[in-house]
């Protein structure tokens, strides 16, 4: 077996040193009646060629996003990733290292995390960011739990513009913890009255911008209202590129900002792994979940970095920890950081402008298709259209014609009367021809 | 760029000992932060400015500077290559970090995960366009269920701790379905458990009670039975446990839990010891997460991303979270909403789990096959015992010298006369070119040193490691404390001041104030 260096002779020598008659003697602590006597009912080992063939055949059954005019977003976005990003994250020293528990031989990972934390704080205009979470949805529930700890209240208000999967994650965990959730109905036009929901039990209001329907939301007034009522404002984003062009959570008074970082540096990967971004006001630092990297010096006085404030964490605090999480999204956060370093401020802003320009162009083209109405007053690179007909069926028909045209809102929120809505995203990867193809194909399927 | 403009020394620190002008030492390059070497107007990505158009941002343009430096591509590559060279990695050497399973990461896994058919598909594409991806998930589930002897698997947990929470939520849902939600609120957790176990149980509202280990490192069955009652929801037991020992009374433990109306959650962090040798489902386990990044070698990546699918017994299967797969005449279909499966406890992440990790894990499994997986477990256990047998005359074991599974636990009582600590010993290992073993965990052993060699090491590598450990141990016992107290001497950094970092947290770079 190509991955196992021990030879049969080695094994015999080693057993002799151990003083065991055979390998099964080392498994004697497993109750004899339950020890497997034969191989599992699974295929035997395969050569690299065979495995390649097996996996490639499965991959070939999927329609690759890059092979079609592609307009799907709703929480995960297809963007260009510079070739150097994937090359660098595959460096052995990044890819095959562990959590930096021995900082003297993990300064590469630690400095990269320190840079990442600084980038995320800047991008969100918040004071402090952690070393990342699993994804945007898990970062959101962690933010809600953090708000409960800070305010000592136990009710979250969720905007109807919050990604329905994120809302479902918050409701699921809150049901388990016995906390209250007021989940507002889908708010396609960004018209809900969130401020009216804040009573003295509310610990936090969770609002997404750009929201799941693509609307941009000014939450400054809501922030003031939260402050007046002793609640925290949690601002969520699922498209990190938008922060190159639109007001950041910290500029609108967010207490905690969380989001999905996939769209910078990370492939679609059918939903994971992604990277959750988590940032907060510094006064809440000690209630933050997740890992934090801090600056210090070594015995020679040289600058270095370590994981810090671990007294919040499970390996010290056990059941009293701020979170059960003991990992960040290592390589995904590194990919995010490398891509953002390549872009820089100038590149990120331009990338964001291109995205917006393409979406504006697409919205114009679709608005001219008979039977299509663009619903958004404002948007970044994603918006919602109303069509005459069933959106899920239309999306299937578009796929049959080779166009991946968007997400039916009913797939995210079934049974909510959203059957005629499609959420459409556009990025720098869409060409004029792609946008024309979507408009023409949509026209054709009515 | 003149790096001397950005001294890496802090103002109040001692002068550098390094004798070079640059502070570099041969291949060890000092490297500033991107905020010190980059500039906001620089970009390493060529993009064309869009033609003028009418913005639809509704007056929400970002106006203030963001504060993000940029680097050209060559500068970016050099920055991250230099950073990478400050990391230890499994590719560079033995990484015997107990309980973490630092085995070789086959590159075929990486190549397969990057096939556009897996990497470039969107989780919300029409399901008719992703049948190959669903097939892969279904196949992975089949392997996991067969290896564990279980009937269902929840694939969405994104790491081990997330899997623990998922499994415990399934248990909570099952308890509530029986109308016992108000009374069964206690979860028993052995003292030797990973900290994530009590944290996960507590996260979802259970009350955690610790159960002590007995003299041989295993759970005390009679002690456990004495604590069972109508308030007990479950036990969270790691097996093989964190002392590297198989819980010999696991069947009795499972029976006792079930007889008391409670569930058996198994922390599968150490499943890599027993793949193909025993199946947790056969032992009475109701739920167990599997760290794909440990047992199935998806890389650790400096701390993630991981993946923690949870296998479930028939008693818990109906409560699995969405999404999950169903087969019908049109092929495979993802069930994405609880409304289709009313007993499902809900959703724990936005999409369908760590697909990129699923591809890597299935690639690893298919490469090994049933025979190779069993051989890998056997070699891992053999190698750990080889190290145990080769060091047990010098180093002390908290529970006596007995065969271990995939990792061997020593404590620090043998170091007592030297005045050195486990930490000192670990730091000296760094100078010898090894990543230290896991230290100070599990807490049931004083000054614990938990060594897990994995199946990826040749006998020659193991022999050199053993010889090095013996040399270090002899030096320690012989009074050569210099080699330990100041260590590491040869790493990119000497010992780092963690107290200082925590006392005055500096968690991001800020523009230095002009003098």
B252 and B397, same domain (yes or no): no
Mean pLDDT throughout B447-466? 98
B337 vs A contacts (CB less than 8 Å)? 414
Check pLDDT > 60 for residue B444: yes
B374 and B354, same domain (yes or no): no
Answer whether residue B245 is part of any domain.
yes
Answer whether residue A296 is part of any domain.
yes
The beta-carbon neighbor of A1 closest among B62, B110, B375 is B375
Cα–Cα–Cα angle for A80, B300, A274, nearest 5°? 35
Residues 6+ apart with CB under 8 A from B131: A61, A62, B331, B332
B445 and B404, same domain (yes or no): yes
Measure the CA dihedral A150/A152/A156/A162, to 10°.
Answer: 10
Shortest distance, CA B156 to any CA of chain A (angstroms): 9
B426 vs A contacts (CB less than 8 Å)? 102
Q: Is A407 at the interface with chain B, CB within 8 A?
A: yes
Q: Is A368 at the interface with chain B, CB within 8 A?
A: no
Q: Which of residues 8-47 of B touch A (CB under 8 A)?
A: 8-10, 13-17, 31, 33-35, 38-45, 47
Strand A372-374, strand B263-267: pairing: unpaired
A321 and A423, same domain (yes or no): no
Pick the residue from chain A with its C-alpha nearest to B110.
A90
B279 and B406, same domain (yes or no): no
pLDDT-wise least confident of A127-131, A135-139, A284-288, B10-14: B10-14
Q: Give the residue ranges of DSSP H helices in A193-329.
A: 220-229, 314-317
A330 and A349, same domain (yes or no): no
CATH number at residue A354: 3.90.1150.10
Q: Which helix (H) or strand (E) holds A386?
A: strand A382-387
Measure the CA dihedral A346/A351/A355/A358, to 10°.
Answer: 90
A150 and A206, same domain (yes or no): yes
Q: Is A20 at the interface with chain B, CB within 8 A?
A: yes
Check pLDDT > 60 for residue B395: yes
Q: Which of B42, B111, B51, B105 lies closest to B79, judged by CA?
A: B42
Answer whether residue B256 is part of any domain.
yes
What is the CB neighbour count within 10 angstroms for residue A218?
A: 16
pLDDT tens column, B269-296: 999 999 999 999 999 999 999 999 999 9
Check pLDDT > 50 for residue A363: yes
Domain of residue A410, residue span: 65-80+345-445
- Determine contact, residues B189/B235, Cβ cutoff 8 Å: yes
Check pLDDT > 80 for residue B11: no
Q: Is A16 at the interface with chain B, CB within 8 A?
A: no
Domain of residue B26, residue span: 1-11+19-40+69-86
Q: How far apart are CA A382 and CA A363, in angstroms?
A: 9
CB within 8 Å: A137 and B350: yes
CB within 8 Å: A324 and B133: no
Residues 6+ apart with CB under 8 A from B504: none
Which tokens belong to A151? 């305010």
Q: How far apart are CA B408 and CA A270, in angstroms?
A: 39
The beta-carbon neighbor of B349 closest among A123, A134, A244 is A134
Answer whether residue A131 is part of any domain.
yes
A120 and A186, same domain (yes or no): yes
Q: Is B330 at the interface with chain A, CB within 8 A?
A: no
B149 and B81, same domain (yes or no): no
Q: Is A60 at the interface with chain B, CB within 8 A?
A: yes
Residue A57: is the preceding peptide bond cis (ω within 30°)? no
Strand A303-307, strand A372-374: pairing: unpaired
B264 and B196, same domain (yes or no): yes
Shortest distance, CA B269 to any CA of chain A (angstroms): 13
- Determine contact, residues B37/B71, Cβ cutoff 8 Å: yes
B326 and B412, same domain (yes or no): no
DSSP state letter for B56: -
A305 and A374, same domain (yes or no): no
**Cα-to-chain-centroid distance, residue B344:** 27
Q: Is A49 at the interface with chain B, CB within 8 A?
A: no
B23 and B162, same domain (yes or no): no
- Determine contact, residues A212/A164, Cβ cutoff 8 Å: yes
CB within 8 Å: B300 and A273: no
Q: How far apart are CA A34 and CA A29, in angstroms?
A: 11
B464 vs A contacts (CB less than 8 Å)? none
CB within 8 Å: B455 and A6: yes
A322 and A334, same domain (yes or no): yes
B423 and B450, same domain (yes or no): yes
A280 and A375, same domain (yes or no): no
Q: How many domains does chain B have?
A: 3
Q: Give pLDDT, residue A346.
A: 98
Domain endpoint, select from A279, A313, A339: A339
**Cα-to-chain-centroid distance, residue B311:** 18
Q: Which of B440, B69, B94, B514 lies closest to A338, judged by CA?
A: B69
pLDDT tens column, A60-111: 999 999 999 999 999 999 999 999 999 999 999 999 999 999 999 999 999 9
Q: Which of B90, B477, B478, B468 lies closest to B297, judged by CA?
A: B90
Q: How far apart are CA B119 and CA B383, in angstroms?
A: 36
Q: How many domains does chain A have?
A: 2
Give the total residue count for chain A. 446
How many Cα neighbours within 13 Å face the side chain of A112?
Answer: 37
Domain endpoint, select from A321, A339, A357: A339
Q: How far apart are CA B399 and CA B217, in angstroms?
A: 6
Answer whether residue A17 is part of any domain.
no
Q: How far apart are CA B325 and CA B141, in angstroms?
A: 10
Q: Which of residues 143-162 of B touch A (CB under 8 A)?
A: 143, 146-147, 158-162
Q: Is A430 at the interface with chain B, CB within 8 A?
A: no
Domain endpoint, select from B318, B337, B364: B364
Q: How far apart are CA B476 and CA B419, in angstroms?
A: 9
A115 and A262, same domain (yes or no): yes
DSSP labels for B294-306? HHT----TTT---
3-state secondary structure of B153: strand
Q: Which of residues 264-283 of B touch A (CB under 8 A)?
A: 274, 276-279, 282-283
B429 vs A contacts (CB less than 8 Å)? none
pLDDT band at B515 (very low <50, low <70, confident <90, very high): low
DSSP labels for A108-176? HHHHHHHHHHHHHHHHHT-SEE-S-BS-HHHHHHHHHHHHHHHHS--EEEE-TTS-HHHHHHHHHHHHH
Cα–Cα–Cα angle for B205, B211, B216, nearest 5°? 145
Question: In this predicted complex, what is the ipTM?
Answer: 0.97
Q: How far apart are CA B67 and CA B333, in angstroms?
A: 45
A161 and A194, same domain (yes or no): yes
Q: How far apart are CA B451 and CA B416, in angstroms?
A: 20
pLDDT band at A407 (very low <50, low <70, confident <90, very high): very high
Size of interface A-B (CB pairs under 8 A): 747
**Cα-to-chain-centroid distance, residue A438:** 27
pLDDT band at B338 (very low <50, low <70, confident <90, very high): confident
Residue B240: is the preceding peptide bond cis (ω within 30°)? yes
Mean pLDDT of chain A: 96
Q: Which of A336, A283, A294, A289 lies closest to A312, judged by CA?
A: A289
Residues 6+ apart with CB under 8 A from A431: none
B385 and B300, same domain (yes or no): no
- Determine contact, residues B203/B352, Cβ cutoff 8 Å: no
Q: Which of A258, A254, A249, A263 lies closest to A278, judged by CA?
A: A258
CB within 8 Å: B66 and A66: no
CB within 8 Å: A88 and B124: no
Pick the residue from chain A with its C-alpha nearest to B88.
A105
Cα–Cα–Cα angle for B293, B338, B145, nearest 5°? 35
pLDDT tens column, A284-340: 999 999 999 999 999 999 999 999 998 777 777 777 777 777 778 999 999 999 999
Q: Which residues of B361-375 are buried (b: 16+ CB within 10 A; e: fewer)?
A: bbbbbbbbbbbbbbb
Q: Give pLDDT, residue B4.
A: 38
Mean pLDDT throughout B497-510? 96
Answer whether residue A172 is part of any domain.
yes
CATH number at residue A307: 3.40.640.10
B385 vs A contacts (CB less than 8 Å)? 14, 18, 20, 26
Answer whether residue A409 is part of any domain.
yes
Domain endpoint, select from A339, A357, A380: A339
A393 and A369, same domain (yes or no): yes
CB within 8 Å: A115 and B169: no
Q: Is B458 at the interface with chain A, CB within 8 A?
A: yes
Strand A303-307, strand A293-297: pairing: antiparallel
Check pLDDT > 50 for residue B7: no
CB within 8 Å: B117 and A64: yes
Q: Which residues of B453-474 are buried (b: 16+ CB within 10 A; e: fewer)?
A: bbbbbebeebebbbebbeebbe
Q: Which helix (H) or strand (E) holds B467?
A: helix B459-477
Answer whether residue B507 is part of any domain.
no
Shortest distance, CA A199 to any CA of chain B (angstroms): 24
3-state secondary structure of B265: strand
A288 and A251, same domain (yes or no): yes
CB within 8 Å: B130 and A13: no
B374 and B360, same domain (yes or no): no
Answer whether residue A14 is part of any domain.
no
Answer whether residue A24 is part of any domain.
no
Measure the CA dihedral A165/A266/B99/B441, to 10°.
Answer: -80
A88 and A75, same domain (yes or no): no
Q: Which of residues 179-208 of A touch B (CB under 8 A)?
A: none
Q: How far apart are CA B294 and CA B360, in angstroms?
A: 12
What is the CB neighbour count within 10 angstroms for residue B41?
A: 11
Q: Give the residue ranges of DSSP H helices in A234-329.
A: 314-317
Pick the residue from chain A with its C-alpha nearest to B367.
A46
């Amino acid at each position: 077996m190509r991955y196992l260096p021990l030879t049969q002779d080695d094994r015999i020598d080693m057993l002799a040193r151990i003083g065991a008659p055979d390998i099964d003697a080392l498994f004697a602590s497993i109750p004899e009646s339950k020890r497997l006597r034969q191989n599992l009912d699974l295929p035997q080992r395969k050569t690299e060629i065979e495995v390649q063939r097996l996996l490639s055949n499965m991959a070939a059954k999927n329609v690759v996003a890059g092979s079609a005019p592609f307009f799907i977003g709703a929480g995960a976005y297809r963007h260009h990733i510079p070739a150097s990003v994937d090359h660098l994250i595959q460096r052995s020293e990044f890819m095959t290292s562990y959590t930096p528990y021995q900082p003297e031989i993990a300064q590469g990972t630690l400095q990269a995390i320190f840079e990442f934390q600084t980038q995320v704080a800047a991008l969100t205009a918040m004071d402090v960011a952690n070393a990342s979470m699993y994804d945007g949805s898990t970062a959101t529930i962690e933010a809600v739990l953090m708000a409960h700890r800070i305010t000592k209240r136990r009710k979250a208000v969720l905007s109807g513009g919050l990604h329905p999967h994120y809302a479902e994650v918050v409701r699921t965990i809150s049901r388990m913890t016995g906390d209250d959730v007021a989940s507002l109905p889908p708010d396609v036009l960004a018209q809900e009255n969130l401020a009216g929901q804040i009573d003295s039990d509310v610990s936090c209001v969770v609002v997404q911008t750009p929201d799941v329907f693509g609307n941009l939301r000014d939450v400054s007034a809501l922030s003031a209202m939260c402050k007046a009522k002793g609640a925290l404002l949690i601002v969520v984003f699922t498209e990190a590129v938008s922060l190159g062009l639109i007001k950041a959570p910290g500029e609108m008074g967010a207490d905690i900002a969380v989001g999905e970082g996939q769209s910078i540096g990370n492939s679609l990967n059918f939903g994971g792994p992604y990277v959750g971004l988590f940032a907060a006001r510094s006064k809440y630092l000690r209630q933050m979940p997740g890992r934090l990297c801090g600056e210090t010096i070594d015995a020679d006085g040289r600058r270095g970095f370590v994981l810090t404030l671990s007294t919040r964490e499970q390996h010290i605090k056990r059941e009293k920890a701020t979170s059960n999480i003991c990992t960040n999204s290592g390589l995904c956060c590194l990919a995010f950081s490398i891509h953002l370093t390549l872009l820089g401020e100038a590149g990120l802003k331009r990338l964001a402008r291109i995205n917006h320009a393409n979406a504006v162009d697409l919205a114009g083209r679709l608005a001219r298709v008979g039977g299509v109405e663009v619903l958004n007053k404002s948007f970044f690179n994603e918006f919602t259209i109303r069509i005459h007909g069933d959106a899920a069926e239309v999306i299937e028909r578009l796929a049959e014609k080779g166009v991946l045209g968007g997400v039916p809102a009913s797939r995210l929120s079934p049974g909510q009367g959203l059957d005629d809505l499609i959420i459409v995203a556009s990025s720098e990867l869409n060409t004029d021809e792609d946008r024309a193809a979507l408009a023409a194909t949509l026209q054709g399927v009515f | 760029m003149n790096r001397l403009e950005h001294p890496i020394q802090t103002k109040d620190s001692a002068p550098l000992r390094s004798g070079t002008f640059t502070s570099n030492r041969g291949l060890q390059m000092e490297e500033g932060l991107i905020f010190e070497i980059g500039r906001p107007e620089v970009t390493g990505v060529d993009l064309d400015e869009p033609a003028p158009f009418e913005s639809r941002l509704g007056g929400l343009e970002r106006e203030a500077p963001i504060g993000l430096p940029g680097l050209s591509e060559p500068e970016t590559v050099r920055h991250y290559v230099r950073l990478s060279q400050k990391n230890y990695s499994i590719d560079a050497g033995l990484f015997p970090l107990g309980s973490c399973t630092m085995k070789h990461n086959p590159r075929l896994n990486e190549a397969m995960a990057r096939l556009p058919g897996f990497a470039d598909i969107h989780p919300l594409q029409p399901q008719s366009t992703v049948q190959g991806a669903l097939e892969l998930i279904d196949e992975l589930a089949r392997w996991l269920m067969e290896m564990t002897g279980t009937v269902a698997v929840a694939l969405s947990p994104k790491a081990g701790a997330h899997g623990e929470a998922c499994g415990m939520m399934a248990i909570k849902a099952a308890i509530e379905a029986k109308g016992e939600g108000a009374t069964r609120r206690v979860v028993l957790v052995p003292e030797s458990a990973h900290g994530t176990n009590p944290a996960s149980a507590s996260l979802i509202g259970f009350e955690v009670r610790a159960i002590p280990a007995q003299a041989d490192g295993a759970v005390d069955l009679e002690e456990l039975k004495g604590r069972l009652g109508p308030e007990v929801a479950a036990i969270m037991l790691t097996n093989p446990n964190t002392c590297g020992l198989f819980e010999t009374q696991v069947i009795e433990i499972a029976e006792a839990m079930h007889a008391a109306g409670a569930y058996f959650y198994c922390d599968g962090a150490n499943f890599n010891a027993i793949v193909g040798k025993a199946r947790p489902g056969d032992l009475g386990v109701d739920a167990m997460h599997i760290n794909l990044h440990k047992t199935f070698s998806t890389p650790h990546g400096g701390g993630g991303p991981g993946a923690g699918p949870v296998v479930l017994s028939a008693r818990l299967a109906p409560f699995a979270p969405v999404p999950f797969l169903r087969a019908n005449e049109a092929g495979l279909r993802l069930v994405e909403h609880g409304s289709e499966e009313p007993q499902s406890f809900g959703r724990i992440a936005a999409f369908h789990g760590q697909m990129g990790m699923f591809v890597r894990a299935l690639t690893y499994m298919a490469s090994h096959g049933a025979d190779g997986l069993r051989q890998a477990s056997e070699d891992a256990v053999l190698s750990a015992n080889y190290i145990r047998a080769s060091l047990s005359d010098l180093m002390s074991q908290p529970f006596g010298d007995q065969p271990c599974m995939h990792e061997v636990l020593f404590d620090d009582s043998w170091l007592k006369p030297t005045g050195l600590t486990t930490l000192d010993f670990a730091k000296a290992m760094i100078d010898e070119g090894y990543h230290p073993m896991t230290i100070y965990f599990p807490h049931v052993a004083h000054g614990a040193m938990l060594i897990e060699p994995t199946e990826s090491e040749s006998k020659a590598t193991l022999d050199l490691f053993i010889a090095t450990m013996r040399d270090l141990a002899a030096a320690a016992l012989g009074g050569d404390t210099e080699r330990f107290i100041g260590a590491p001497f040869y790493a990119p950094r000497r010992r780092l001041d963690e107290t200082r970092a925590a006392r005055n947290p500096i968690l991001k770079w800020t523009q230095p104030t002009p003098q």
